[in-house]
Amino acid sequence: MSEQTIRKPLPTTDGDSQALWDGLKEGKLLLQHCADCGHVQYYQQSLCRLCQSKNLVHKPASGRGKIHSYSVVHRAPGPAFKGDVPYAVLLVELEEGPRMISRLVGNDFDALDFDLPVKLQTVKISDDVCLPYFSLM
């Protein structure tokens, strides 16, 4: 097995996403607000997904959301995640509207439930990358 497949996949930033990953290093989850139609979106791209305006403004999310769905992973998707199982993947619905994939901080799986409030907690996973995880309130 090559080293590359044992290492965890880290996000490769591009022109669309650089601001998001920079923001996370400062503990902020940036959302794109369309200055023309008001749509709020995650993830970052060059166009508003509703009206295709390029007039997008980054604003930090409140960090509050709720669990729309979740699944506790017992069988790791490859050796990179073997040391992590079991862990909970969350589909979080942010207060501002967008949904995102995230992970639960900690392993209090019994406390998990649908529509439960959660709050943002950025977690440093390498020198250059902080991921937006969520914890129970």
Report if residue 19 touches other proteins, rule: CB under 8 A.
no
Report if residue 103 touches other proteins, rule: CB under 8 A.
yes
> Which listed residue (70, 105, 120, 122) binds other proteins by CB under 8 A?
70
> Which listed residue (50, 51, 57, 101) binds other proteins by CB under 8 A?
101
Cis bond upstream, residue 77 (ω within 30): no
CA distance 117 to 90: 12
Which residues sit at the interface with other proteins, rule CB under 8 A?
1-2, 5, 8-13, 17, 42-43, 68-81, 84, 87, 89, 91, 98-103, 114, 125, 129, 131
